[in-house]
Amino acid sequence: MTPLRVGVVGAGRVGSVLAAALLRQGHEIVAVAGESDASTRRARMLLPGVPLRKPTTVARSCDVILLTVPDDMLGNVVTQLAASGSLHEGQYVVHTSGSHGLAVLGPAAAVGARPAAVHPAMTFTGTPIDLERLEHCVFGVTAGSAERPFAEALVADLGGEVMWVEERLRGLYHAGLAHGANHLVTLVSQAMELLGTAGADDPAAILRPLLQAALDNALAEGDAALTGPIVRGDVNTVRAHVAELATTAPDTLPSYLALARATLDRVVTDGRVLPIRAAAIRRVLDTAETAAAPRLAASREELGAALEPARAAGQPVVLVPTMGALHAGHAALLEAARVRARDGVVVASIFVNPLQFATGEDLDRYPRTLDVDLELCARAGVDVVFAPSTEEMYPAGDPEVTVDPGPLGEVLEGEVRPGHFRGVLTVVAKLYGLTRPDVACFGEKDYQQLVLVRRLARDLCLGVDVVGVPTVREDDGLALSSRNRYLDAGQRSRATVLSRALDAAADRAAYGLPAARWAAMRVLDEDAELDLDYLAIRTPELERVSDEHPAAPTDARILVAARVGATRLIDNRSIVLGPVG
């Protein structure tokens, strides 16, 4: 292929390695864009001398732009690059996502760019070793007829081989890879942990020959390669496995049960297990799933009884306070808590706290979905759910002693919702007292709350490690919230203006606070019906930031609150003010 000017947006493990491979083939890497420190270090290691620039600058300076960003970010990145005028007619816009095809590149195609989806079916370390692994790597490629020769030549220069994937089958293609490779890593890691717990000094050495033989046999023979207690119909062996996992490795039990069911279904279909034995194994698996449901405590006494064994054994207790109406964002909190707890106890509290609602707010209509919440908690590995009534939490009515949040509780959310954080910190303090946790997990979406509960634990020496968990977003950027269910279809579409404003600010943050704020306001002003409460840029501890342009990159947090229709939404994200290149 004729040498091309190539730019990379997303200097992660994949982007840096692919760029280095193209550089070896004589192509010019004009610039790369990457946000994290790890990306910056990786780009400098694999692409010495290649400048780090903003995504828009990278896009304007190249003939071929590689978009190697996470799947969930890809749509927003393409839309922003196209809207900013950074893409041009005839430019090749190539993404490396396995799950996306050409549809996500629609905004690029609309301005005359030539789209292609080129996914390497390989796992990357982000180190030079990947360059050798690219040899004969298969790339799942989706491209129009006019772009096919270019895509084929690009893959050849990367050292790979093309597998053409139809647009409509892109998701199925990627699911096959993810299930076979990504989930395999999880499975092997869990198996190593079990062997380590069982006393193995080198679990990898034990598993390596077994797994290599199993993989080779499976690739050659498919289901015929299945062996083990499920295939033999050994009910008592499966029962013993389940009992041991429930006691020793409860985090691994759900995946064991799921794979045992899948294996059973396959061997029943081909007749290797008699129906009567299959039914007995299913009963064992069903019983294990029922036993894995979290223990529900509605009173202080029930909560104490549920936590006493862990306390007596010196096991860690990790608390996740919620108001219920749980969604994927809460699931991320609970899963983070499960990781922190290890063999300890995860407690999720579900309590709609009246102290943090002002008159006229949505206390009465706040969604209450306990049965559904318990199912989500079970899937996330929660051990105890504390779901008290208002009378249980405040038996004498509103408490006479409350927690003063200090000056930070009177600005931003505190200014719009007077008394809100007094109510939040009071209930959190009570939950700390009732559960005595070692760790508490809170979401970054309620960022001001996160900062305040950290100060609560620090200033009052409560001995709780407060962990912040990143915000979970929809594919279009909207932060997940229990209040999103209040939005109708039109309002739901409009609500993305908040995250788009934050992203616009992040894109201009290198030019300082005024530029970042102007960029965000420009996006917010697109919605004339939006009722803005505030837009603020603060330090990570929510102190005020100077308008002066910083001499060095400075971490900051931009926060926004607004009403879309009658629904009040908040959002935030981290940004870096000042020069980043």
**Per-domain boundaries in the chain:** 5-165, 197-291, 295-469, 482-577
- For 474-535, the three-class secondary structure string (H helix, E strand, C coil) is CCCCCECCHHHHHCCHHHHHHCCHHHHHHHHHHHHHHHCHHHHHHHHHHHHCCCCCCEEEEE
The tens place of each residue's pLDDT in the chain, 581 residues long, gives: 789 999 999 988 999 999 999 999 999 999 999 878 888 888 899 999 999 999 999 999 999 999 999 999 999 999 999 999 999 999 999 999 999 999 999 999 999 999 999 999 998 999 999 999 999 899 999 999 999 999 999 999 999 999 999 999 999 999 999 899 889 999 999 999 999 988 899 999 999 999 999 999 999 999 999 989 999 888 888 888 887 887 677 778 889 999 999 999 999 888 888 888 889 899 888 877 765 678 999 999 999 999 999 999 999 999 999 999 888 889 889 989 988 998 899 999 999 999 998 887 888 888 888 988 888 888 788 999 999 999 999 999 999 999 999 999 999 999 999 999 999 999 999 999 999 999 999 999 999 999 999 999 999 999 999 999 999 998 899 999 988 988 999 999 999 999 999 999 999 999 999 999 999 999 999 999 999 999 999 999 999 998 888 888 999 999 999 999 999 999 999 999 987 65
Rounded Cα–Cα distance for residues 505 and 521 (Å): 9
Please tell me the predicted confidence (pLDDT) of residue 581.
54
How far apart, in whole angstroms, are the C-alpha atoms of residue 483 and residue 208? 49
Q: What is the largest CA-CA distance in the chain?
A: 79
8 A C-beta contact, residue 374 and residue 366: no
Burial 355-383 (b: 16+ CB within 10 A, else e): bbbeeeeeeeebbebeeebbebbbebbbb
3-state secondary structure of 139: strand
DSSP state of 64: E
The pLDDT score that the predictor gives to residue 292 is: 64
Whether the CB-CB separation of 449 and 442 falls below 8 Å is answered with: yes
> What is the arrangement of strands in the sheet containing 439-443, beginning at the earlier edge strand?
295-297, 384-386, 345-350, 317-322, 439-443, 465-469
Tally of residues, the chain: 581
Q: What architecture does CATH give domain 482-577?
A: 2-Layer Sandwich (3.30)
Residue 577, φ and ψ in degrees, nearest 5: -85, 145
CA torsion, points 237, 238, 243, 249, in degrees to nearest 10?
110
Distances (CA, A) of 57 to 8, 70, 86, 202, 308: 11, 20, 7, 49, 58
Residues 9 and 31: beta-carbon distance below 8 Å: no
Query: For residues 433 and 403, what is the distance between their CA atoms, to the nearest angstrom?
Result: 13
Site of tokens 């717990």: 197
Query: Taking a C-beta distance cutoff of 8 angstroms, is the pair 91, 65 a contact?
Result: yes
**CATH superfamily assigned to domain 5-165:** NAD(P)-binding Rossmann-like Domain (3.40.50.720)
The vertex-455 CA angle with 454 and 458, nearest 5°, equals 90
Domains 5-165 and 482-577 share a fold: no
What is the set of active-site residues?
A: 330
Distance between CA atoms of 571 and 445, rounded to whole angstroms? 6
Residue 568: φ, ψ to 5°: -95, 130
The CATH number assigned to the domain with range 295-469 reads 3.40.50.620
